[in-house]
């Protein structure tokens, strides 16, 4: 039953399986074990980035397409929810309408980009998608009547998802079951379903064709596969999942603006997470997202403690200053790429396969 649920794509490493199980349990019980606004926001961000990174890995890791327009679809999903909720009011119908329109727009744009640009190779396609994403961000900033411009849009959700809503009068295991609590578990359920759906896609015959295209596009074409069609479908599916991740972000924040969902920094974060977790592995999106988001969120706090502890050593204290957290984050990334060139998942799977190969040789 478990292997069928994860599409027979087993971790193939005991350590990897334990890490994934620990991440699943930690995210499932996060509101109970890490009370506090910041901790819950970090857990919610991890869920959102798992979906966003896994959808991008379908393009980069499984199909071999480098696209910088992924955050555009992420932003479309977020703006769809924000605009619909602002204009139609705080209702489930507004959420459904916004999500439906966002998915429709994403489908059209992904098809257009795919049909007109996927015949272009390598860096040229990447540059086209970068230009399109930049133009869309500028457009979102200027259409202030619809998008709120640089200020963005704040909106209300259905009453059951509002922080003021309380399901029970008394706390459960020390935690109040309020609207934010329910919103977190809505995100958790959606992220889990979408991740399992992506696992099913990449392990289907369609997913295996995508991997064949990544390995040798000309050979796949010679075998009779329409490479442009498969690449376009991969681009569309990836964009739709990114749109859903954007909708998750808007629901969690109850706000959206250009810098929140369309920033190029988000695209860079996604690229880093894919490399850290391991390209071509859906599991890598979960591990990479946890490592990166937690480091990004708590590295400053750790550096502050280290700087205070090293107050007697001026040079070391200056190096551990919280203002230099980006320097240390970059250093951690360089070290992770050096020691895990195939990502955390690739390294763990290779380590697990090594003893069995040695045993087979003897």
2-22 pLDDT per residue, tens: 566 666 677 778 899 999 999
**Tokens found for residue 266:** 């988000």
Check residue 75 and give its pLDDT. 95
For residue 321, CA distances in Å to 52, 326, 327, 328, 330 come to 31, 11, 10, 10, 15
Check residue 105 and give its pLDDT. 95
Question: 268-285 pLDDT, tens per residue?
Answer: 899 989 989 988 888 999
Check pLDDT > 50 for residue 259: yes
Coil vs helix vs strand at 346: helix
Check residue 186 and give its pLDDT. 95
* The residue to which tokens 């957290």 are assigned: 325
Domain residue ranges of the chain, discontinuous segments joined by + = 36-263
Check residue 20 and give its pLDDT. 93
Question: 103-146 pLDDT, tens per residue?
Answer: 999 999 999 887 776 666 667 778 888 888 888 999 988 888 88
Q: Which residues of 173-209 are buried (b: 16+ CB within 10 A; e: fewer)?
A: eeebbbbbbbbbeebbebbbebbebbbbbbeeeebeb
Average pLDDT, the chain: 87
Residue partners of 237: CB distance under 8 A and separation at least 6: 58, 201
| 67: Cα separation from own chain's centroid | 15
**Tokens found for residue 65:** 């397409």
Of residues 114, 103, 107, the one with CA closest to residue 67:
114
């Amino acid at each position: 039953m478990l292997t069928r649920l994860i599409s027979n794509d087993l971790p193939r490493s005991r350590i990897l399986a334990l890490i994934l199980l620990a991440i699943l349990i930690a995210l499932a019980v996060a509101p109970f074990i890490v009370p506090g606004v910041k901790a819950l926001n970090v857990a919610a961000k991890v869920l959102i980035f798992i979906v966003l990174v896994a959808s991008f890995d379908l393009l980069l890791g499984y199909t071999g397409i480098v696209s910088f327009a992924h955050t555009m679809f992420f932003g479309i999903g977020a703006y769809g929810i924000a605009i619909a909720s602002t204009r139609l009011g705080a209702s489930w119908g507004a959420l459904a309408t916004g999500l439906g329109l966002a998915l429709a727009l994403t489908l059209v744009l992904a098809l257009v980009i795919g049909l007109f640009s996927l015949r272009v190779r390598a860096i040229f396609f990447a540059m086209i998608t970068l230009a399109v994403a930049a133009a869309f961000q500028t457009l979102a900033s200027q259409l202030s009547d619809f998008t709120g411009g640089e200020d963005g849009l704040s909106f209300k959700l259905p009453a059951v998802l509002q922080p003021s809503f309380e399901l029970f009068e008394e706390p459960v295991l020390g935690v109040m079951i309020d609207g934010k609590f329910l919103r977190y578990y809505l995100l958790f359920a959606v992220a889990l379903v979408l991740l399992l759906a992506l696992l099913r896609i990449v392990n289907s015959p369609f997913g295996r064709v995508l991997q064949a295209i990544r390995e040798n596009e000309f050979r796949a074409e010679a075998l009779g596969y329409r490479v442009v069609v498969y690449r376009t479908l991969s681009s569309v599916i990836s964009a739709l999942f990114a749109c859903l991740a954007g909708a998750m972000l808007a629901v969690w924040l109850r706000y959206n603006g250009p810098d929140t969902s369309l920033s190029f920094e988000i695209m860079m974060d996604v690229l880093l997470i894919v490399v850290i977790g391991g390209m071509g592995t859906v599991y890598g999106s979960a591990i990479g997202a946890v490592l990166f988001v937690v480091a990004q969120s708590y590295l400053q706090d750790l550096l502050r403690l280290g700087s205070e502890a090293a107050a007697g050593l001026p040079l070391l204290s200056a190096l551990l200053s919280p203002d230099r957290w980006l320097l240390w984050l970059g250093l951690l990334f360089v070290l992770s790429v050096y020691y895990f060139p195939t990502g955390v998942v690739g390294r763990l799977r290779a380590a697990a396969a090594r003893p069995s190969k040695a045993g087979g040789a003897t």
